[in-house]
Amino acid sequence: MSRPILLRGGRVIDPSQGIDGQQDVLLADGSVEACGRGLGAPDGAEILDCAGMIVSPGFIDVHCHLREPGREDVETVATGARAAAAGGFTALCAMPNTDPVTDNQAAVGFIIRQAQRAKAARVHPIGAISLGQRGEALAEFGEMIGAGAVAVSDDGRPVVSAQLMRTALEYARTFNIPVIDHCEEPTLSHGGAMNEGIVSARLGLKGIPSEAEEIMVIRDILLARRTKGHVHLAHMSTAGSVDLIRWGKERGINVTAEVCPHHLTLTEDRVGAYDTNAKMNPPLRTAADVAALRDAVADGTIDLIATDHAPHHYDEKEQEFANAPNGIVGLETALALVHTNLVAGGVMDYARMVECMSCAPARVFHIPGGTLSRGAVADVTVFDPKAEWIVDPATFLSKGRNTPYAGERVRGRAIFTIVDGEIVHTMANTTR
Amino acid sequence: MISALGKDLLGLEPLSSEQIKLILDTAEPFKEISERAIKKVPTLRGSTIVNLFFENSTRTRISFEFAEKRLSADPVNVSSAGSSVSKGETLVDTARNLEAMRIDMVVIRHGSSGAAQFLADRIKSNVINAGDGMHEHPTQGLLDLLTLRDHFGDLAGKRVCVCGDVLHSRVARSNIWGLRKMGVEVAVCGPRSLMPNAIEEFGVTVFDHIEDAIEWADALNVLRLQIERMTGGYIPSLREYNRVFGVTRERLARAPRDVLILHPGPMNRGVEIDSDVADGEHSVILDQVTNGIAVRMAVLYLLSGGNPALAESAKAAGR
């Protein structure tokens, strides 16, 4: 068994218990032993000086693409889990759009075994909704959950058939898991490369209208009302979606939603002169959308923040804009972007940040963590809110380098990432 | 050396009105060279230029090639069919290989919006956009401006309506930017299914009826309606398009003034424009083609670092 760890003198923020104050946290035998003032260090304990740091339940990213199996050249479970740890995440959920698709228990088991070997962040697989993500026949939810999956999604592809979505929401109730949808009406978005608006019109790029997302958002909310299933809406990007989610929640419909750091910080203008690192799906939208998403994540309409970490090979992004693949890496920038833009930017306080990046992900996906209550898993994120750094993709542990934030000065950095009572990442010696 | 236009000509949106005027003014002395028995001046002797055409083109490619040859440059034509591109070479590799051959300029036509910018960002040679996807076709916009200026003298306050498939048209975008920068009032007319949703934000008037556009305009620039737009479901039929939006003699006859007719070609006679209009007395469609060479000579000359004030003497040197 590992040595106990005493996190001494940090500002502990744990919204699950209403804690915000200078305290110590003691971890032993893979669990949180105690939280409080002036805790003594047991024999042999490792003492980590956390003065000036924020100590919180470990951050959980419920939306990542780890590319293994199939595209191990751009990311593996191990590199993704290490990138997550470096970014302050103690756990992540891996989307099933691998090759072959993670649509059966053996495939789920493979990802779990790869993650165990990596000894970094925990990896919770998400199974496919439909076999091969083809949108036709349901995958075996029960078998996949039994093997360790925590949710189902055809992410990367929308669930086109309303009937399939309805069935998935109904069938998932037995297993008490969320059905995650990538909301995109494909006939409206077909061929689109960025947000539809004046910028797409100027650049001569086919646009993706906000309605392509919103039509599916309201469809899913209505189906959740009908079925009483739990629908989780991935990477929300428009002000209209926010209104629809609010409408659904006001009526007690079982809908939860996530937003990505890039949709909270960048607009369609970032595409600039056809920068493929600003190409993602859903696309970067307008300043009004960013403002609505910020309000929504602050007031709880949007439950949580997830990265949609999507590594791509350098050559794939080095193409004509319309041909380049969608997506950016996010695991190693999310904490700093949220801290810099939303907390320091006055949109939310630390408690809300920890809620969105730790407590809510654990609660919504029914996975361990999200709290420092006694007996909880010893997953802790310690970050220095004053650490200033410049985003340099060359230093990423992810194999992906595709980020629109290269060169950006940000504030806030994970100093210790602790998973199951083990330090899986530390910056303590390099920054101080 | 950075020219008065910068390194590249990628579109008219980034140019100032002074730069556009400079190109048009520089084109004036070059017009005369094409009227000579020996159509050649030594201005660009020793310059190597690659005409890189990833999409089919007759008019634009030949126009560039004449412009290059009449300035004594050494052009090489590359089309995607039969080149390394058809073997799967990426655009960035094509660019690097061209660079390695120590060329001076690239003229690129490509089906993807932003392809010219992509190339310009990656090579040191001057890049001229000869049409990229639905983005811009700046030399077409410039030759349209030159043709309008030839006819009207001063462009400020004139009214030009761009008619047809604005949504998919790089010619429309270059026209809108170029015309507005030169003080022209710009309108567009066509079915809303062939207009960008955000068209009003370009600062143009939108006409839903061609009759209203004709009543308003001093000139119409009639865009080619691509047959794919019908199969793509944007309009029901070419017949109906002609019925509702076609520029016909009957419609022009009701105009309060003579309306100048431009068309970037190739024309679909009987679809967006009727033959008696295309061949009529107010059509300047072939003048556009002639001006295309002078405008392209001016662009090549200016990008190569040619002194605008010396364009006249460049012409004289050929005597």
Chain B stretch 89-148, residues whose beta carbon is closer than 8 A to a beta carbon of chain A: 90-92, 110, 112-115, 117-118, 121, 132-136
B198 near A CB under 8 A:
yes
Residue A33 within a domain: yes
- Residue where a domain stops, chosen among A321, A344, A365: A365
| B258 & B309 share domain | no
- Residue A288: count of CB within 10 angstroms of its CB: 11
> Could you tell me if B171 and B207 are in contact, meaning their C-beta atoms sit under 8 angstroms apart?
no
For residue A177, which of A140, A203, A149 has the smallest C-alpha distance? A149
> Could you tell me if A246 and A234 are in contact, meaning their C-beta atoms sit under 8 angstroms apart?
no
| B250 & B307 share domain | no
Q: What is the domain-level CATH number for residue B296?
A: 3.40.50.1370
| A240 & A137 share domain | yes
pLDDT score, position A406: 98
CA distance B14 to B5: 10
Taking CA A383 as the corner, what is the angle to CA A382 and CA A389, rounded to the nearest 5 degrees?
150
Calculate the CA dihedral of residues B287, B289, B295, B301 and round it to 10 degrees: -130
Per CB-CB distance under 8 Å, the chain B contacts of A273 are 114, 117, 121
Chain A residue at shortest CA distance from B203: A198
Within A19-166, strands assigned E span 19-28, 31-36, 46-49, 54-57, 59-64, 89-94, 122-127, 151-153
| B71 & B184 share domain | no
- Band the pLDDT of A432: cuts 50, 70, 90: very low
pLDDT score, position A213: 98
The answer, yes or no, to whether residue A79 has pLDDT greater than 50, is: yes
Q: What are phi and psi of B289, to 5 degrees?
A: -65, -45
For residue B316, count CB atoms less than 10 angstroms from its CB and return exposed for 0-12, middle for 13-18, buried for 19 or more: exposed
Burial B274-294 (b: 16+ CB within 10 A, else e): beebbeeeebbbebbbbbbbb
Q: Which residue is it, tokens 């646009």?
A: A207
Q: How many domains does chain B divide into?
A: 2
| B89 & B176 share domain | no
CA distance B115 to B112: 6
* Identity of the residue in A197, A203, A209 whose CB atom sits nearest the CB atom of B135: A203
The answer, yes or no, to whether residue A1 has pLDDT greater than 70, is: no
For residue A141, count CB atoms less than 10 angstroms from its CB and return exposed for 0-12, middle for 13-18, buried for 19 or more: buried
| A106 & A170 share domain | yes
| B164 & B265 share domain | yes
pLDDT digits (tens, 9 = 90+) for A273-294: 999 999 999 999 999 999 999 9
B114 contacts A273? CB cut-off 8 A: yes
- Note the residue count of chain A: 432
pLDDT score, position B1: 57
Range of the domain at B245: 138-288
* Identity of the residue in A196, A204, A209 whose CB atom sits nearest the CB atom of B113: A204
| B202 & B131 share domain | no
> Could you tell me if A12 and A26 are in contact, meaning their C-beta atoms sit under 8 angstroms apart?
no
Residue A371 within a domain: no
The rounded mean pLDDT for chain A is: 97
Find the farthest-apart pair of alpha carbons in chain B and give their distance in angstroms, rounded. Answer: 59
- Residue A31: count of CB within 10 angstroms of its CB: 15
What one-character DSSP code corresponds to residue A355? Answer: I
A202 contacts B91? CB cut-off 8 A: no
Per CB-CB distance under 8 Å, the chain B contacts of A198 are 198, 201-202
CA distance A296 to A247: 12
Q: What is the domain-level CATH number for residue A101?
A: 3.20.20.140
Residue B9 within a domain: no
Calculate the CA dihedral of residues A273, A274, A280, A281 and round it to 10 degrees: 110
| A300 & A216 share domain | yes
| A30 & A115 share domain | no
pLDDT score, position A431: 41
For residue A141, which of A177, A101, A193 has the smallest C-alpha distance? A177
pLDDT score, position B310: 74
Token code pair at residue B67: 């412009």
- Band the pLDDT of A324: cuts 50, 70, 90: very high
Chain B residue at shortest CA distance from A208: B197
Residue A293 within a domain: yes
Q: What is the domain-level CATH number for residue A21?
A: 2.30.40.10
Residue B175 within a domain: yes
CA distance A55 to A10: 6
* Identity of the residue in A197, A205, A209 whose CB atom sits nearest the CB atom of B113: A205
**Hey, of A320, A321, A323, which one would you mutate to test binding to chain B, going by the most B CBs within 10 A of its CB?**
A320
Among all residues of A, which ones are annotated catalytic? Answer: 308
pLDDT digits (tens, 9 = 90+) for A334-383: 999 999 999 999 999 999 999 999 999 999 999 999 999 999 999 999 99
| A18 & A143 share domain | no
A318 contacts B92? CB cut-off 8 A: yes
CA distance A222 to A204: 35
| A355 & A394 share domain | no
| A239 & A340 share domain | yes
Per CB-CB distance under 8 Å, the chain A contacts of B135 are 203-205
Distance linking the first and last C-alpha atoms of chain B = 28
Per CB-CB distance under 8 Å, the chain A contacts of B90 are 315, 318-319
Q: Which residue is it, tokens 């009302």?
A: A225
| A338 & A409 share domain | no
Residue A372 within a domain: no
| B168 & B273 share domain | yes
Q: How far is CA A14 from CA A48, A49, A299, A373, A387, in A?
A: 18, 19, 18, 9, 21
B132 contacts A207? CB cut-off 8 A: no
| B154 & B264 share domain | yes
Token code pair at residue A242: 């926010």
| B31 & B163 share domain | no
Residue partners of B261: CB distance under 8 A and separation at least 6: B219, B220, B222, B247, B273, B277, B278, B280, B282, B283, B284, B285
Of A73-82, A421-430, B77-86, the one with minimum mean pLDDT is B77-86
Q: How many domains does chain A divide into?
A: 2
pLDDT digits (tens, 9 = 90+) for B18-48: 999 999 999 999 999 999 999 999 999 999 9
pLDDT digits (tens, 9 = 90+) for B232-241: 789 999 999 9
Which pLDDT tens digits describe chain B residue by residue (319 residues)? 578 999 999 999 999 999 999 999 999 999 999 999 999 999 999 999 999 999 988 899 999 999 999 999 999 998 877 666 667 788 888 888 988 999 999 999 999 999 999 999 999 999 999 999 999 999 999 999 999 999 999 999 999 999 999 999 999 999 999 999 999 999 999 999 999 999 999 999 999 999 999 999 999 999 999 877 777 789 999 999 999 999 999 999 999 999 999 999 999 999 999 999 999 999 999 999 999 999 999 999 999 988 777 777 776 765 5
| A357 & A426 share domain | no
pLDDT score, position B96: 87
pLDDT score, position B318: 55
Interface of A with B (CB under 8 A): 196-198, 200-207, 209, 273-274, 315, 318-323
pLDDT score, position A429: 63
| A40 & A110 share domain | no
Q: What is the pTM of this model?
A: 0.94
Residue A370 within a domain: no
CA distance A127 to A105: 9
* DSSP codes of every residue in A337-351: HHIIIIITTTSS-HH
pLDDT digits (tens, 9 = 90+) for A141-200: 999 999 999 999 999 899 999 999 999 999 999 999 999 999 999 999 999 999 999 999
Range of the domain at A356: 59-365
CA distance A341 to A322: 29
| B155 & B282 share domain | yes
SS3 of chain B: the string is CCECCECCECCCCCCCHHHHHHHHHHHHHHHHHHHCCCCCCCCCCCCEEEEEECCCCCHHHHHHHHHHHHCCCEEEEEECCCCHHHHCCCHHHHHHHHHHCCCCEEEEEECCCCHHHHHHHHCCCEEEEEEECCCECHHHHHHHHHHHHHHHCCCCCCEEEEECCCCCCHHHHHHHHHHHHCCCEEEEECCHHHCCCCHHHHCCEEECCHHHHHHHCCEEEECCCCCHHHHCCCCCCHHHHHHHHCECHHHHHCCCCCCEEECCCCCCECCCECHHHHCCCCECHHHHHHHHHHHHHHHHHHHCCCCHHHHHHHHHCCC
- Residue where a domain stops, chosen among A332, A365, A398: A365
pLDDT score, position B317: 63
| B155 & B120 share domain | no
| A99 & A223 share domain | yes
| A184 & A331 share domain | yes
Helix/strand/coil for A265: helix
The interface pTM score, or ipTM, of the predicted complex is 0.93
| B197 & B112 share domain | no
